[in-house]
Structure 1
């Protein structure tokens, strides 16, 4: 019925609005495929695709019937996280222009599906790497074709608000998009795993044709202190089957330099080397197998491509998916590291659910199920216990979809209480492990997990078990009643061993320690008489090095065999100069598919209604694809005051 279509914001095609008048904040409708990072209590949102809508008056009134314009976020949007806010009333957003580099006069590119890296702790810059130029509306003001291939790394100085660019040449595949990525801010590194090349990646790939994508292998490690890059082969983890659209999370407190967990995404079958036109939601990776990268191996000269492990998970498992986001919250005592997964899209539809992968038990727990799906978004842990989500789309019909019901493009989820709301609390209490998780892995809100290895068979590989040794060996006898308080956007460091307190009275404990100390001193006097002290040294083969030996650099070149690629022209593969010791070329197969074309402009309406966001508190068991909520209002208010209704899942038995 036309009336229903109008009320729900389904739009008919009309003349395009004057795009030069559109503002990424005032005229915001939907934003997705962007990149974002949190640094110095500020959330930065760069690029991405965005739909814009006309508004009445000065932009503060309710959005009325108007025109949807497809375009791009040409700005760096900044949201203050140092103060509490409600995104319905008083959120602070600024659109920072992307000014040209004063040294070269070149403006930073507007990209989608890249990475925004944190940099190092004492660096005032954030870094844009990777990404692709979208062609979905080349008449949108500010559109520029792909930039020269050598400048794939850009920096934005938070203090001066100036941009700079760096040459970190990576051969022909220097700017992949849609790969998994994560920050290791303690190390000043950014990691980018596999990904895609398309016609917007660089000047040399513009001949690929509309919708053609080439999956590539390798993991790029960007040294954000030196502004250099290194390409590690990923043959050990993905063989000749490159991946895209998964997610990665760096956990600093496991191993000597931390680990990276790689989850989900899609892949290309190794037997098909001629290119296909399959949808991107085919060939999805299972979610019960997690790939783990030991970051310490990156510094080891004997493992030039690093060391990967694979681990099977337990518990109910999420459906395979792509385009979701991850964030991390660790128990106050370090007994569990909980990776939160939100949203995504799969073979049967789109997801509005939150799952938690608890490590080191590698156990999945579903903690939230809703009816407002989201994909192509990003998310971050801020303010101790809050997950802030950024953007995302509800379906792939962007031109006819209603505007984001979270009208500022951000959502707020309490990682401990497992509820959605509109209020961000900058002074929220410390993170506490939620009850559904402790019901699976044991312990309490403050930690004390009793599952500290996978069940029932332990770790799948001995080397992986070695990484986890000594970090946690059971709950403390007297856990602290107060969780540790963290600063906004930071993560606790649990590398120091957990000290088990004395269970006897204080006087008895002191007496015992004094006696042991006296005995130890006497033994030391006897042992050092007439003998030299012995010192255990590390094997020289296990020393960590921070730069690769120039003579041992291994250059990974692209397969020089000729492949038949759908809509791709034959390319000349240029080898890397052997003096570029920090760079290796990506090994790849030409694997492609074509995406459908999209409409450009349609008409939009939104009612000023207080009837509430159309969202139910439960989902029928046979409903696989959630309904798209209508705009114009908010969900029913929950008893706790949240503007987004939710359904708590029953506690699951401990396996």
Structure 2
């Protein structure tokens, strides 16, 4: 009887509160049950080779290798979790990184048991219209066809996984650099290494050809119900083939530019002193030298396995590069590149944990999440590596609480702030021309009439008016020639008529400033004489870039994830 009353009360509550409240309750119950049963019973050690993407207010983490500590002796009890890793962090809530992970990190349903869903390492993740598209990477358990990638769509009831055909490029590439550019409805993937897919053998992973280094840029374009894939091969003289580099979007140029740095090539070098830059509008590659200092300890640069974010303030952009294989305990884990000064600076702070192969995500207005990774000190310190760290990009301190509502302020100690040109000059003058164009998002360009050049319109109007005046003068000439016997009074009237017509058109011309009359149209009281060369004040810096990731309408995403139980997962990860 008591059980029946409880069930009846539950039914009444559902009717009163509505379906969404019940869905939220079921979701919380499912996540709590999942977390307590198989995720947080041990301690996170390493989480590497995964992808992170933001949909709406939710940060989703996919794939990769997760190692946990399931015993007191971490060196003996470190175990690699089998199956597909899928976690989420809500970015519309406050949380503390010092709290138990259960309070803000959730495990989502695991699709690895489904035969056609890949379990991924590396690769790129791109968000569009509420879905996440994956490109490249090693696909464990079930190597997909060469022309197939996968799409994940969180809905109000479940998480839908679908294969997506790839046309024009091969998906069989891994360890490349990816960046999601939602303001352009595009994603980019540069470099990496080739893969030989092993077909339908679900017990084997893809085979990576370790001796291959690529310099291809794959452009993924998104529109309603359609994706396009384009491969742009970079000239080796402009873009060295690299693996595990960092690709960032800089809001400069007509459609933005891509900045590629770090990584490694066949000789073990990466792009640090000279950076690779791609102009999206013209599909052109450039090189740009940098200044400053990247040395820390005995290492000249951070090495491979870094992660990075870019944040803008006015006409300056700052690239924060964290961790790397060359940085160990006691060395700088953070390097900052200032643009357009293109100057490096390192930040020494003993509280920064040594990390390699972590993921960095810009969250809020001034913070960077450093997620996962492993210790670059080689100490196998399972208990000393935090799964999540939060870096304040203004104070340059590791902080516990998210978010910080204060606006971003550039650190005063960083070199090159407010510089208008590179300290060592532009390596390519054509890049300077690209950079000086004010960036507009694809939506802004469409609102502006498809990017019509206002200067061209004004020039056409001015040219047309000038043509009218010239025609008038020619007409006067022929009138005078054919009517020499007419009185001077008649000629003066004809000239006056032309002047009246030109006076009507004159407001459309650029008007001379007081004290600087146009030589073509002398003003009363200003004698016609040569003018000394005029000097003009320096052009003001471009207006502050507004991050369209925050101003554009967010991708639609359900407030809650599915209530379904996680399906069975493989018990072993192939070697």
Q: By the TM > 0.5 criterion, same fold?
A: yes
CA contact (8 A) 1:367 1:436 kept: no
In the TM superposition, 1:77-96 aligns within 5 A as 77-89=87-99, 91-96=103-108
What is the aligned counterpart of 1:161 among 159, 162, 165?
Answer: 159
Mapped to 2, the partners of 1:238 and 1:417 lie a distance apart of: 36
Mapped to 1, the partners of 2:388 and 2:500 lie a distance apart of: 65
Q: Show CA shifts across 1:316-350 (max 9, x none).
A: 1353411101101111xx22000110011139999
Mapped to 1, the partners of 2:332 and 2:66 lie a distance apart of: 21
Distance 1:187 1:470, change over 3 A: closer
Mapped to 2, the partners of 1:189 and 1:236 lie a distance apart of: 24
Mapped to 1, the partners of 2:268 and 2:198 lie a distance apart of: 23
CA contact (8 A) 2:354 2:377 kept: no
Distance 1:100 1:211, change over 3 A: closer
* Displacement after TM superposition at 1:242 (Å): 2.2
Q: Show CA shifts across 1:228-256 (max 9, x none).
A: 211111125556x52101101002x2111
The equivalent of 1:221 in structure 2 is: 219
The equivalent of 1:441 in structure 2 is: 416
The equivalent of 2:305 in structure 1 is: 323
Mapped to 1, the partners of 2:108 and 2:205 lie a distance apart of: 33
The equivalent of 1:108 in structure 2 is: 117
1:248 aligns with 2:216: no
What is the aligned counterpart of 1:267 among 265, 268, 271?
Answer: 265
1:182 aligns with 2:179: yes
CA contact (8 A) 1:35 1:116 kept: yes
* Displacement after TM superposition at 1:415 (Å): 0.3
State the SS of the aligned residue for 1:97: coil
CA contact (8 A) 1:99 1:108 kept: yes
What is the aligned counterpart of 1:362 among 319, 324, 342?
Answer: 342
Distance 1:296 1:89, change over 3 A: same
Distance 1:413 1:208, change over 3 A: closer
Mapped to 1, the partners of 2:327 and 2:399 lie a distance apart of: 29
* Displacement after TM superposition at 1:53 (Å): 2.6
CA contact (8 A) 2:152 2:161 kept: yes
Distance 1:36 1:436, change over 3 A: same
1:415 aligns with 2:393: yes
State the SS of the aligned residue for 1:216: coil
Mapped to 2, the partners of 1:38 and 1:338 lie a distance apart of: 21
Q: Show CA shifts across 1:343-378 (max 9, x none).
A: 111399996511111111111121344363111111
Larger radius of gyration: 2
CA contact (8 A) 1:350 1:394 kept: no
Mapped to 2, the partners of 1:339 and 1:212 lie a distance apart of: 29
CA contact (8 A) 2:391 2:398 kept: yes
In the TM superposition, 1:345-494 aligns within 5 A as 345-346=325-326, 353-370=333-350, 372-395=353-376, 401-403=380-382, 405-407=384-386, 409-424=387-402, 426-437=403-414, 440-442=415-417, 449=418, 451-456=419-424, 458-469=425-436, 471=438
CA contact (8 A) 1:33 1:48 kept: yes
Distance 1:209 1:464, change over 3 A: closer
Distance 1:256 1:245, change over 3 A: same
Q: Show CA shifts across 1:95-145 (max 9, x none).
A: 1124489xxx754211111112123xxx111222211135xxxxxxxxx14
The equivalent of 2:291 in structure 1 is: 314
CA contact (8 A) 1:387 1:414 kept: yes
What is the aligned counterpart of 2:61 among 29, 33, 45?
Answer: 45
* Displacement after TM superposition at 1:210 (Å): 8.0
* Displacement after TM superposition at 1:44 (Å): 0.8
Distance 1:526 1:212, change over 3 A: same
State the SS of the aligned residue for 1:152: strand
Mapped to 1, the partners of 2:63 and 2:136 lie a distance apart of: 12
* Displacement after TM superposition at 1:411 (Å): 0.7
State the SS of the aligned residue for 1:182: strand
Mapped to 1, the partners of 2:430 and 2:142 lie a distance apart of: 46
Mapped to 2, the partners of 1:202 and 1:243 lie a distance apart of: 26
Q: Which structure is richer in relative contact order (CA contacts within 8 A, separation 6 or more)?
A: 1
* Displacement after TM superposition at 1:311 (Å): 0.6
Mapped to 2, the partners of 1:224 and 1:329 lie a distance apart of: 24
State the SS of the aligned residue for 1:463: helix
* Displacement after TM superposition at 1:528 (Å): 7.0
Distance 1:347 1:412, change over 3 A: closer
1:284 aligns with 2:269: yes
Mapped to 2, the partners of 1:23 and 1:430 lie a distance apart of: 39
The equivalent of 2:13 in structure 1 is: none
Aligned residues: 408
Distance 1:67 1:452, change over 3 A: same
CA contact (8 A) 2:75 2:380 kept: no
The equivalent of 1:578 in structure 2 is: none
CA contact (8 A) 1:380 1:388 kept: yes
CA contact (8 A) 2:67 2:80 kept: yes
Quick check: which one's helix share is greater? 2
Report the TM-score when normalising by structure 2: 0.63
Distance 1:166 1:203, change over 3 A: same
In the TM superposition, 1:228-239 aligns within 5 A as 228-235=228-235
State the SS of the aligned residue for 1:529: helix
Q: Show CA shifts across 1:200-221 (max 9, x none).
A: 68669x7986884533331111
Q: Show CA shifts across 1:280-310 (max 9, x none).
A: xx5212411111111112xxxxxxxx10111
Quick check: which one's strand share is greater? 2
Distance 1:207 1:183, change over 3 A: closer
The equivalent of 2:278 in structure 1 is: 293
Mapped to 2, the partners of 1:201 and 1:296 lie a distance apart of: 37
Distance 1:405 1:39, change over 3 A: farther
Mapped to 1, the partners of 2:163 and 2:431 lie a distance apart of: 38
The equivalent of 1:117 in structure 2 is: 126
The equivalent of 1:620 in structure 2 is: none
* Displacement after TM superposition at 1:196 (Å): 1.0
* Displacement after TM superposition at 1:169 (Å): 3.7
Distance 1:286 1:259, change over 3 A: closer
